[in-house]
Amino acid sequence: MKITNYIAAFFMAVTLTACTSTDEEITGNGNITLEFDNAFSTSDLLLDTAPYKGNETEKIKISKVKYIVSNIRLEDKEGTIFTYPKNESYFIVNEENPESQFINLFNIPSKDYTKITFGIGVDQEKYLQGAEGQGEFLTKAQDAGMVWSWQAGYKFFVFEGTYTSINTPDETAFAFHMGSHGTALDNYKEITLTLKNSARVRTNATPEIHIVADIANVLKGTTKFMLDDTAQIHVNATKSPQIATNVNGMFSVDHVHN
């Protein structure tokens, strides 16, 4: 019957067009984008609006979340590590500025990356280069209010807002500023995250690694911080390292877009 001939022809046409070669030789460089998406628990972080549940009866309204992301390294499937050029590897993520939440990295070797490492803050090596070595980034950090004027050093993490609790019925300001204290106390820490899906950098494909930073972890992480105990933490040799640990623990990779 003619019908069957048509069907056979149809199937053949499909089969022929469906055949593609998948072997590819990966060369050249590409780009990658990191998105730092701030959250509070499982909600997208909203500044100055919803009061979030802190510890116990504390309710907080967040007005500022800023942090320095630095020294980005990518590890591929074979375990080879690509280090992004150090001088270009300092960024400020600011919840008030959506653009700052996307970090674009250029000239990355085309590979399938499975791990990412980054630091929060400025390492001692960079810090000891002084104003000249830190160059443009120092200006950027000063403009963003990420430098202590009264203490030579960077604020790695800025977290501000107001809170109320059973003991503090009136809205009261809180501020956590965490950083290294000159050379006396090094609070720079690095985080390595495993990607659920590999980020495939190609000359013609820019993957995006979507990183979530759960700000709730600052108060509820390894160390529990009651704002009623201390609402202002700036330079504190005991509490700053504890905040640094909590900040370190707030990052996770949600997914990778290829």
Partner 1 sequence: MTNVLQNFRYTKILFFFSLFFLSHTAFGCDLCGCATSGGSFGQGTLNNTSFIGTRYIFQKFVSKDGIFDNSPTSTERFNTYQLWGRIPVSKKLYVSVVLPYQDLKRKFTDRNENINGLGDITLISWLKIPFYKKENTEYTQIGKQPSGHSIEIGLGSKLPTGNFEQVLSNRVNPGFQLGTGSLDGILSLTYTYAADKFGINTNTSYYIKGENKNEYRFGNQFSFAGNFFYAIPKKQYSIIPFIGISGNIYDKIKQFNEVIANTDGAVYNTTVGSEVLFKTFIFGANYTLPLQHNLFGGNVTPKQSIALYLNFNLNN
As measured in angstroms, the least distance from the Cβ of 246 to partner 1 is 20
As measured in angstroms, the least distance from the Cβ of 158 to partner 1 is 22
As measured in angstroms, the least distance from the Cβ of 189 to partner 1 is 25
Q: Which is nearer to partner 1, 1 or 166 (CB)?
A: 1
Q: Which is nearer to partner 1, 10 or 106 (CB)?
A: 10
Q: Which is nearer to partner 1, 48 or 136 (CB)?
A: 48
As measured in angstroms, the least distance from the Cβ of 91 to partner 1 is 21
As measured in angstroms, the least distance from the Cβ of 80 to partner 1 is 18
Angle at alpha carbon of residue 194, lines to 191 and 198, rounded to 5° = 135
Q: Which is nearer to partner 1, 16 or 166 (CB)?
A: 16
Q: Which is nearer to partner 1, 68 or 212 (CB)?
A: 212
As measured in angstroms, the least distance from the Cβ of 114 to partner 1 is 10
Whole-angstrom distance, CA of residue 3 vs CA of residue 20:
28
**Which residues of this chain interact with partner 1, rule CB under 8 A?**
1-4, 6-7, 9-11, 13-15, 17-18, 20, 22, 37, 39, 42-44, 46, 112, 196-198, 200, 210, 212, 254-255, 257-258
| Bridge partners (DSSP) listed for residue 190 | 119
As measured in angstroms, the least distance from the Cβ of 13 to partner 1 is 5
Whole-angstrom distance, CA of residue 142 vs CA of residue 145:
5
Whole-angstrom distance, CA of residue 117 vs CA of residue 248:
11
Q: Which is nearer to partner 1, 8 or 184 (CB)?
A: 8
Residue among 34, 33, 28, 24 nearest 109 (CA): 28
Whole-angstrom distance, CA of residue 225 vs CA of residue 246:
10
